[in-house]
Amino acid sequence: MGLTRRQAIMASLSAIALGGCTSTARTRTHPRPIAGWPGYPANPAGNQRYTPVQAPYQQPVPVPNSAADVTTIAGGINAVGRSNWTRTGPISSKVNAMNGISKITVHHEGWTAVDFTSQSATAERIEKIRKYHTGEKRWGDIGYHYIVDRAGRVWEGRPIQYQGAHVSQNNEHNIGILVLGNFEKQSPSSAQLKSLYSTTAALKSKHGIKTALIRSHREINPTTCPGKNLQNQMNGLRQYVG
Ligand SMILES: [Zn+2]
């Protein structure tokens, strides 16, 4: 019995990391965008570009590298709890109820490139984002519900009972996932992609989200977010979650 489709996709992500992100390696091993999105193919498994790669399966979520990594169940997702990066909760007068979940939108940070992987540096960065969102932007909390860091950890952001602030006019029912980095300038790490894929699959399953409503920011609004090097993962992500 061969690898399942999901295992094969995860394995191909590992192959990318080993081979670097040269255009040659990407062409050979990387799920490439299917022309015509949002016309997502009715039978993506039939696309020859996704032929399973026979490589050893690796666990999709890497083990965090610090004893201080405290995990919690945030909206059904195993994540580094919010108390590990901030002491400040959402401003209740500035947040609205989610009213059920039916969509996921993927973002990048789009600031300076991110190469740090430690818990402490990541916590500092997420708190910086929250302060920017609540300060300059005057929002009720950090805009995103989950943050995937460079090491592949998933962090709890805004509690998912509240609408986020991540897609203009489209925050109700919509989970926002931030992948930390600037993917116009850099590529997501293999660990990040694995976590993004597995987290999205878990959220889709938990909330019964339709694959067609798992989109990147630029698939909804005119923006470069989540950057070309993460945008080119979106069809692979939808393929993975099925
Ligand atoms: Zn965005």
Other Cβ atoms less than 10 A from the Cβ of 11: the count is 19
Please give the distance, rounded to the nearest whole angstrom, from the Cα atom of residue 224 to the centre of ligand 1.
8
Please give the distance, rounded to the nearest whole angstrom, from the Cα atom of residue 108 to the centre of ligand 1.
6
Tell the residue number behind the tokens 């990040």, with chain if given: 192
36 found inside a domain: no
101 found inside a domain: yes
Question: Sign of dihedral through CA atoms 45, 50, 54, 56?
Answer: negative
Q: Which amino acid is at 62?
A: P
122 found inside a domain: yes
* Number of domains forming the structure of the chain: 1
pTM, two decimals, is 0.77
Q: Each residue of 132-170: pLDDT tens digit?
A: 999 999 999 999 999 999 999 999 999 999 999 999 999
Please give the distance, rounded to the nearest whole angstrom, from the Cα atom of residue 225 to the centre of ligand 1.
5
Provide the 3-class DSSP secondary structure of residue 197: helix
Please give the distance, rounded to the nearest whole angstrom, from the Cα atom of residue 204 to the centre of ligand 1.
19
Q: What CATH number is attached to the domain comprising 93? A: 3.40.80.10
3 found inside a domain: no
Residue pair 141/133 in contact by the 8 Å Cβ criterion:
yes
Between the CA atoms of 173, 141, 197 and 84, what dihedral angle is there, to the nearest 10 degrees?
A: -140
48 found inside a domain: no
Please give the distance, rounded to the nearest whole angstrom, from the Cα atom of residue 48 to the centre of ligand 1.
30
82 found inside a domain: yes
Can you name the residues that pair with 80 across neighbouring β-strands? 71, 155
Q: Each residue of 4-49: pLDDT tens digit?
A: 778 877 877 765 544 333 333 333 334 443 333 333 333 333 333 4
Q: Which amino acid is at 133?
A: H
Q: For residue 13, give the DSSP letter.
A: H
Please give the distance, rounded to the nearest whole angstrom, from the Cα atom of residue 133 to the centre of ligand 1.
13
93 found inside a domain: yes
Please give the distance, rounded to the nearest whole angstrom, from the Cα atom of residue 120 to the centre of ligand 1.
24
Please give the distance, rounded to the nearest whole angstrom, from the Cα atom of residue 96 to the centre of ligand 1.
19
46 found inside a domain: no
The parent domain of residue 196 ranges over 65-241
CA 69 to chain centre: 19
Please give the distance, rounded to the nearest whole angstrom, from the Cα atom of residue 42 to the centre of ligand 1.
26
